[in-house]
Chain A
Amino acid sequence: MAFTLYSLLQAALLCVNAIAVLHEERFLKNIGWGTDQGIGGFGEEPGIKSQLMNLIRSVRTVMRVPLIIVNSIAIVLLLLFG
């Protein structure tokens, strides 16, 4: 089966799900990726790690409600045609 647009969308959905499922207190704090850790000094260019943490936090904040809707649509579609 070829790699099509539909599979790309599915993969993107799964990746966003994977980011959103990371728990702040149970997981991220334990590996040193918590909100208050690793904040650089003023005027210092942010490194890759702080950018990643920023991305994870943003995804977890913004995508919470949309993910519920998109996931339920995907579930219904898979049940009907999958």
Chain B
Amino acid sequence: MYTAGLAAAGTPRLRKWPSKRRIPVSQPGMADPHQLFDDTSSAQSRGYGAQRAAGGLGYPASSTSSQAAFLADPVSNMAMAYGSSLAAQGKELVDKNIDRFIPVTKLKYYFAVDTVYVGKKLGLLIFPYLHQDWEVQYQQDTPVAPRFDVNAPDLYIPAMAFITYILVAGLALGTQDSARRFSPDLLGLQASSALAWLALEVLAILLSLYLVTINTDLTTIDLVAFLGYKYVGMISGVLMGLLFGKTGYYLVLGWFCISIFVFMIRTLRLKILAEAAAEGVPVRGARNQLRMYLTMAVAAAQPLLMYWLTFHLVR
């Protein structure tokens, strides 16, 4: 359902990337697997139809075979109809229940990425200083998918970076000097610790958003996405630390800390302060200042956590 929206959203950009033009075209192409599936079933039913037609034709000719066909056909048809309705019912039930516990359709949005987007976003994380337009584009009240907008939050990079961080941490613990400190359960410990910090951060931000009564379109998943970008810098720092020792670690991590600070401020400012500015009314000073402090605090927490989660890995 979003792909239609995406295709519509992509139209203004078609001039830029002709390759994107294929997406609306491939829309019917996307239906091809479905078509294939339908084809097989229809072929089956066509087979039944042919059989039935043969039986119908044969009815006046030979009574026994037509009798068999007559008996066999309605039963099998009914069974098929019953079975397919049962399957559809089950599928609907599963769909409904999955949607209730996990917002699948919402999550799909965050994974609608492609290679160009991931490359651009990583570039933005490394060097956010020259990027001008930080506004997430909207298409009829729904944000445009990450594929078409570099500023949109995605979960692909955070998820992959999180897994990579855990593996890199294991590598760093395993390849260190004399003390072989690696054991398999350390991987689980690293993952648990990183997840706990992430959850704590999200909870703290949600609580402060509630306390300052900011009505923002920032959802929890958005927050997880934005907070997850810091793992990219942590991975780079630890890898550099493995290659070049402490100096490389501090240089790369410092660069990424400054970058992510700028990145977070420029992104969150639009999300947290935008509403105040958009209201048009002169906002009371104290409240606006609180929002500003909140933005700064969230951005400033990133470098601290990046250092805290990696410094024990490099020595």
Contacts and interface: CB of A to CB of B under 8 A. Distances in A.
Interface string A1-24: 011111110001000000000000
B200 interface: yes
A25 interface: no
B195 interface: yes
Nearest to A48: B211
A8 B192 CA distance: 10
B213 interface: yes
Nearest to B200: A8
B213 A46 contact: yes
B189 A3 contact: no
B211 A51 contact: yes
Most buried by A among B189, B196, B210, B213: B196
Interface string A45-74: 110100110010000000000000000000
B203 to A, nearest CB: 8
B195 A5 contact: yes
Contacts of B203: 12
B193 A4 contact: yes
Nearest to A15: B203
A71 to B, nearest CB: 20
B297 interface: no
Contacts of A52: 211
Nearest to B284: A45
A4 B212 contact: no
A51 B196 contact: no
Nearest to B192: A4
Contacts of B213: 45-46, 51
Given A8-B199, A8-B200, A3 B193 contact: yes
Contact of B192 (A6, A45, A46, A48): A6
B210 A51 contact: yes
A5 B199 contact: yes
8 contacts: A3-B197, A4-B196, A7-B196, A8-B199, A12-B203, A45-B213, A51-B210, A55-B210
Interface of B: 189, 192-193, 195-197, 199-200, 203, 210-213, 287
Q: Enumerate the 9 nearest inter-chain pairs by beta-carbon distance, A residue then B residue, closest first.
A: A4-B192, A8-B196, A5-B192, A2-B193, A5-B196, A51-B211, A48-B211, A4-B193, A3-B193
